[in-house]
Amino acid sequence: MYSSSKEKIKSEQLIDQYSRTISYLRLSITDRCNLRCLYCMPQRGADSSSLVKYADLLSYEELLRIVTIAVGMGMNKLRLTGGEPLVRNGIMDFIRSLAEVKGLEEIRLTTNGVLLHEKAAELYSAGIRNLNVSLDTMRPERFIKITGSDLFAQVWQGIQTACDLGFNVKLNVVAMKGINDDEFADFARLAAQRAVQVRFIEFMPIGNKESWDKTRFIAASELKEIIATLGTMDAGATSSGSRMEGPARVYRLTLPDGKTGRVGFISPISHHFCDKCNRLRLTSEGRLRACLLHDHETDLKTLLRQGGTDNDIQTAIQQTILAKPKGHTLQDDLAGSDQVNCHGQMSRIGG
């Protein structure tokens, strides 16, 4: 009886004012990155004053404390993001510590793949099984233009290594008109040729206004029409038996030669999934966000460093959940003025 009552209290702590249960925490452990993708990080040589000072990053001990409290409230899924999480020293020991948190059922990692080949075996040993790799092009010369680095071969090797080791690999492709729209079909075919799921993500107004160009935006419906020309797409034949996998609408693509693969479409603007959103985001400097596209943040770092108790932190998390907005208005914004508000830098918030 006591256990059942305790679980009910936990679940009530995680329900927002729109009856969504928040069970998923995205943790940005650093805003540093070894790439400079044109829509995310400032180019090398540019003013780097926007980077968080090392002293202002949450320590691993502070991160572990927040995760332990959140899991104690009933959250059970965690994603490590950045910046590039694998560039932070001590990341493997941190992951092993997370794996010991009772009640945490799954730890996922989003990476740009640059260090994946050398880290993959250790990640697998630490208990990671699900990887999202950001890859917006399969053309080495275009990779340089998008990321500022000639590292495509290294990333590709990391993806192959991860697949060989048995990771569940998803490739995240930010769809940008005039930049990589001539590769969408190639990416979809890749999903049928290798053990990866390819997910196309709508380009969002995140970061500096200079990096956002409304003319680059491609709606998920248009992306789906392009991919549908390659073969047949079945929404009911995914391995999960569900059309929705988190924010992605996932389909099984069958090519004319009989090969099959899984492709997903993430449409935060044109067909947002706010009504099903189950996540919070903790930025690299310890600010808790209830929504990627709303800039209200709860300062957990100051609370931690001023001696806040576990109950204080739990209360702050619960208040953030209750303040979670119903949704965003980007679709309406894009339909109107070209001056769209750009939100905080993705490398700080966590991609």
The pTM of this model reads 0.89
Kind plus residue range of the DSSP H or E element containing 8: helix 2-13
CB 283 within 8 Å of CB 25: no
User: In this predicted structure, what is the pLDDT of residue 328?
Assistant: 64
Using the predicted structure, report yes or no on whether residue 351 has a pLDDT greater than 90: no
pLDDT interval class at 46 (50, 70, 90): very low
Rounded average pLDDT over 329-337: 55
| CATH match for 2-349 among 3.40.50.2000, 1.20.1050.140, 3.90.1150.10, 3.20.20.70 | 3.20.20.70
pLDDT per residue over 12-42, tens digit each? 789 999 999 999 999 999 999 999 888 876 5
Sequence-distant (6+) residues with CB within 8 A of 203 are: 39, 174, 175, 176, 216, 217, 218
pLDDT per residue over 155-185, tens digit each? 999 999 999 999 999 999 999 999 999 999 9
pLDDT per residue over 99-111, tens digit each? 999 999 999 999 9
User: In this predicted structure, what is the pLDDT of residue 242?
Assistant: 41
CB 167 within 8 Å of CB 131: yes
Using the predicted structure, report yes or no on whether residue 250 has a pLDDT greater than 60: yes
Sequence-distant (6+) residues with CB within 8 A of 231 are: 253, 254, 255, 256
Classify burial at 143, counting beta carbons within 10 Å of its beta carbon; exposed 0-12, middle 13-18, buried 19 or more. Answer: buried
pLDDT interval class at 345 (50, 70, 90): low
Name the nearest CA neighbour of 119 among 149, 153, 147, 155.
Answer: 155
Rounded average pLDDT over 251-272: 92
Using the predicted structure, report yes or no on whether residue 209 has a pLDDT greater than 80: no
Rounded average pLDDT over 217-227: 94
For residue 211, give the 3-state DSSP assignment. Answer: helix
Residue ranges of domains in the chain: 2-349
Rounded average pLDDT over 146-152: 96
How far is Cα 280 from Cα 316, in angstroms, rounded to an integer?
12
HEC string of 42-96 equals CCCCCCCCCCCCHHHCCCHHHHHHHHHHHHHCCCCEEEEECCCHHHCCCHHHHHH
Rounded average pLDDT over 49-63: 90
Using the predicted structure, report yes or no on whether residue 336 has a pLDDT greater than 70: no
Q: Worst-scoring range by mean pLDDT, 48-52, 112-116, 208-212, 291-295?
A: 208-212
Report angle CA 328, 251, 166 to the nearest 5 degrees.
105
Average model confidence (pLDDT) across the chain: 87
Residue 132 bridge partners (DSSP)? 110, 170
Rounded average pLDDT over 318-346: 67
